[in-house]
Structure 1
Amino acid sequence: MHALVTGGAGFIGSHLCDRLLEKGYRVTAIDNLHLGRMRNIDHLLERSDFRFQKMDMLDREGMEQLLAAADRPDAVFHLAANSDIAAGNANAELDLQLNQLTTTTLLAVMRKHGIDRLFFASTSAVFGEAEGNIHENHGPLRPISLYGASKLAAEAYLSVYALSFGIKTLVLRFPNVVGERSTHGAIHDFINRLKADPTRLQVLGNGMQTKPYLYVGDLVDAILLAWDKAPGAYEVFHASGIGETSVRDIAEIVVSKVAAGAAIEYGSEDRGWLGDVPRFSYDISRLVALGWSPKRKSTEAVELAVERILANGF
C-alpha cells in the first residue's frame, strides 16, 4: 500500500513514517515545516520506498497534482496541524488555517480523485474541561482553545465525508504525547530552560495540573492497530496513557536528569496558559477491546521521553 502522511516531518508524523515503512508500506510524506523538521526524516531520504515533498496543504493546485498522479496514494494519514495551543492563541488564524482548512481541502481532493481511506489525528482538546472518565460519545463538547475548536470542526467535516461520500475514516483522539522529536510541551520547555539556566526552573502554573501521558511509540501502536481493525465507515477511538502525572512530577523528573539541585519555582495559577486543561482522564476501553494497551504507564512514559530526548535531541 502507498500511504500519504501529512505532517510527515513532524513529531508524531515522522515516527509514523518509520513504522509504516517497517510494515512494508511505500510512504510519501508532505510537510510545510511549520513545526516539522527535516532532521526528523533525514534517515529516510535515501530510501527508495520513501519520498518527501515540502508542501502547504492549502496549495490546492499542489494537492491536486499529488493526489491525481498515476502513483497516487491508496490512503492518507492526516497529522498535519498546529498543535501548539499557546501559538494558536497568539495568532487566532493559525488553527483555522492549519487544522480545519487543511482538512477540508484534503477531503475535497481525496473525494475528487477516489482516495477512500483516511486516518485523522484529533485531540482531547475537543472536550474542553469535561469531567469524569471521558468516553468517545461524551457530551457536550465545549473546547476552550482554538486548537480544540478547529479539530472539532474538522471532525464534523470528516463525519460527512465518511458517511455521505464514502471515505472510510478513522479518528484517534489523544491527549499528551511525549517522546523524542517533540517541538513543545512541558518536557521540551523544562529541558530548554534548565540548559539556559541550570540553577532554577520556572514553571507556568502551580504544577498541580495532572494528566495521562502517552509515549509516542505506544501511540503509533494504537494508530496502526485501529487502522487494521476498526470496522466501521467512521470510527472514533480514544488513546491515552494509563495513570496520571502532574506537572510537578515532570519538573522533578527533568531536574533530576538535567540539573540536579536546581530550584523549582511554581506560579500561582491552576493552569499554564490560556486553553490549558488542568486535569484530564480518558476512557480507552474501546481501543483496549481491539487489543491495544500502552506498554508504559504515564510516569514511565515521561521518564522514557526525557531519557530519549537527552540521548537523541528533540
Structure 2
Amino acid sequence: MKILITGGAGFIGSHLVDRLMLHGHEVRVLDDLSAGSTENIERWLDNERFEFVRGDMRDPDVSEEAVEGMEAVFHLAANPEVRIGSQSPELLYETNVGVTHNLLEAVKGSDVKYLVFTSSSTIYGEADVIPTPEDYAPLEPISVYGGAKLAAEALISGYAHTFGFRALIFRLANIIGERSNHGVIYDFINKLRKNPEELEILGDGTQRKSYLHVSDTVEGMLHIFEHFRGSDKTVDFYNLGNDDWVTVLEIAEIVSNEMGLSPEFNFTGGVDGGRGWKGDVKFMRLDIKKAKNTGWRPGLSSYGAVSRTVRELL
C-alpha cells in the first residue's frame, strides 16, 4: 500500500515506519520535527519506497499535498505531553484537534480509503470500571489533552460516516520503549543521571497504570488494521494496553535497580489526592479483550516493558 504517516519521525511513528518499510509498503512521512527527529528514520531516507516531507499541519495546504496518491493514513502527529494542557491548552487544541481537522479536510477530497488514528486512554477520564472497555460511558476526560483526543475521535467518526472513508481508532495505554523522549521513565533516568543520590517522584507514588512496549503497540496496530480491513465497519475502536499495571513507585525501583543505584525517594505529594499533576489520571488499565479476540497479544507485561525500556534508553 501507499501509506502516509503523520508524525512519522516521532517515537511511535518511526517504529511504525520501520515495520511498514520492512513489509514492503511505500511510505511517506509528514512531520514538523517539533517532537520527532530525522535520526529516527535515517535508515530509510535513501530508500526509493520512502519519502520524508517536513511540514506543519496547522497549514491546511500541507495536509492536502501530503495525502495525494495515498491509500491509507496513519495519523500520529500530535503534542504528546499530557502535562502541557494546564499551561497551554490552546497549543494542545492546535496540535491535536486543529491539525486533525485539516487532515480530514484533505482526506475527504482524496483517494484515501483508510484513516488510522492513535487516541489515548485519557479520553476515559477517571473510569468507574477497571479494566475499562471501549464501550465505557460517559466519557469524561479530566485533562485538556484527553479532551482534545476525544474531540479528534468525534471529528474523525463524523467525517468518515459523511465522506465515505473508513476509520480505525486506537486508544493507547502508556506506550514506552526505545526513542521515547518524554514520560516517567525518561524523566527518572535523567533525574538520576544528574543526581544519583535522590529521586524526586511526582505525586504520592501510588499512581498505578498499564504500560505497553512500542514493539507490541506497532504489531497490534498493524494486525488489527488488517482485521479491520476485512470487516464491514465504517469506524471502529480498539484499546491497546496490557493485562497488568504498575505503580510509579515500582517504576522508580525498576529504574534505580537497572542503573545500579539506591537513591532516596522524595515524593512531592502531588495534587488532588496524590496525582502527579493536574489532570493526571491516577489509575488506568484498559480492557484489551476486543484486541486479543483478533489474535493479537502483548509480548511483554507492563513490568517487562518498563525494564526493557530502561535498558533501551540507557
Could you state the TM-score of these two structures normalised by the residue count of structure 1?
Answer: 0.95
1:95 aligned partner? 92
Corresponding residue for 1:74? 71
Hey, what's the Cα distance between the residues in 1 that align with 2:158 and 2:213? 31
Measure how far apart 1:129 and its partner are: 0.7
1:20-31 equivalences under 5 Å are 20-31=20-31
What's the CA shift for 1:61? 1.8
1:62 positional shift: 2.5
Shift of 1:114: 2.7
Structure 2 counterpart of 1:119, one-letter code: V
Partner of 1:175: 173
Matches of residues 132-143 of structure 1 in structure 2 within 5 Å? 132=129, 133-143=131-141
Amino acid at match of 1:305: T
Pair 1:259–1:87, CA change in 2 (3 A): farther
1:115 maps onto 2:112 in alignment? yes
Residue 82 of structure 1, CA deviation: 0.7
SS in 2 for 1:76: strand
SS in 1 for 2:103: helix
How far has the Cα of 1:64 moved from its partner? 2.1
Q: CA deviation at 1:166?
A: 1.2
Quote the residue 2:39 is aligned against: 39
Question: Alpha-carbon deviation of 1:259?
Answer: 4.7
Provide the secondary structure at the position in 2 that maps to 1:93.
helix
Which residue number in structure 1 is paired with residue 206 of structure 2?
Answer: 208
Q: Could you tell me which residue of structure 2 aligns to residue 13 of structure 1?
A: 13
Q: Who is 2:313 aligned against?
A: 309
Match of 1:286 in 2: 290
Distance 2:5 2:243 in 1: 27
> CA separation of 1:66/1:268 partners in 2, compared to 1, >3 Å: closer, same or farther?
closer
Secondary structure in 1 matching 2:238: strand
Q: Distance in 2 between matches of 1:27 and 1:279?
A: 37
Deviations 1:74-111 (A, max 9, x none): 11000000110112321111111011111111111111
- CA deviation digits over 1:22-57, x for unaligned, max 9? 111111001111211222112221222111111111
Q: Distance in 1 between matches of 2:173 and 2:226?
A: 22
Structure 2 match to 1:236? 237
Please show how residues 262-301 of structure 1 align to structure 2 within 5 Å.
262-269=263-270, 270-301=274-305
Give the secondary structure class of the aligned counterpart of 1:272: coil
Shift of 1:128: 0.8
The separation in 1 between residues aligned to 2:66 and 2:182, in whole angstroms, is 30
Number of aligned positions between the proteins? 307
What is the CA distance between 1:258 and its match in structure 2? 2.0
**Cα shift readout 1:177-233 (whole Å, capped 9, x = no counterpart):** 110111211000000101111111111111100011100000001100111002211
Aligned Cα RMSD in Å? 1.1
Can you list the C-alpha shifts for 1:7-31, whole angstroms capped at 9, x where unaligned?
A: 0011100000000111111110011
Deviations 1:218-250 (A, max 9, x none): 000110011100221101011102211110011
- Residues of 1 paired with 2:64 and 2:281: CA distance? 38
- Amino acid paired to 1:16: L
Local SS of the residue matching 2:283: coil
What's the CA shift for 1:119?
0.3
Stretches of structure 2 that go unaligned for 5 or more consecutive residues are none
> Residues 156 and 167 of structure 2 are in contact (CA less than 8 Å); yes or no, is this contact kept in structure 1?
yes
3-state SS of the aligned residue for 2:109?
Answer: helix
Letter in 2 for 1:60: P
Tell me how far apart the structure 2 counterparts of residues 22 and 82 of structure 1 sit (CA, whole Å).
27
How many Å separate the matches in 1 of 2:293 and 2:86?
A: 37
Structure 2 CA distance, aligned partners of 1:130 and 1:242? 16
SS of alignment partner, residue 16 of structure 2? helix
> 2 CA distance for matches of 1:37 and 1:66?
19
Match of 1:245 in 2: 246
Secondary structure at the counterpart of residue 241 of structure 1: coil
Q: For 2:53 and 2:224, locate their aligned partners in 1 and report how far apart those are by CA, in whole Å.
A: 27
Look up the match of 1:192.
190
Instruction: Return closer, same or farther for 1:91/1:259 CA change in 2, 3 Å cut-off.
Output: farther
Q: Report % sequence identity.
A: 39
Counterpart amino acid of residue 43 in structure 1: R
Residue pair 1:199, 1:259 contacting (<8 A) in 2 also = no
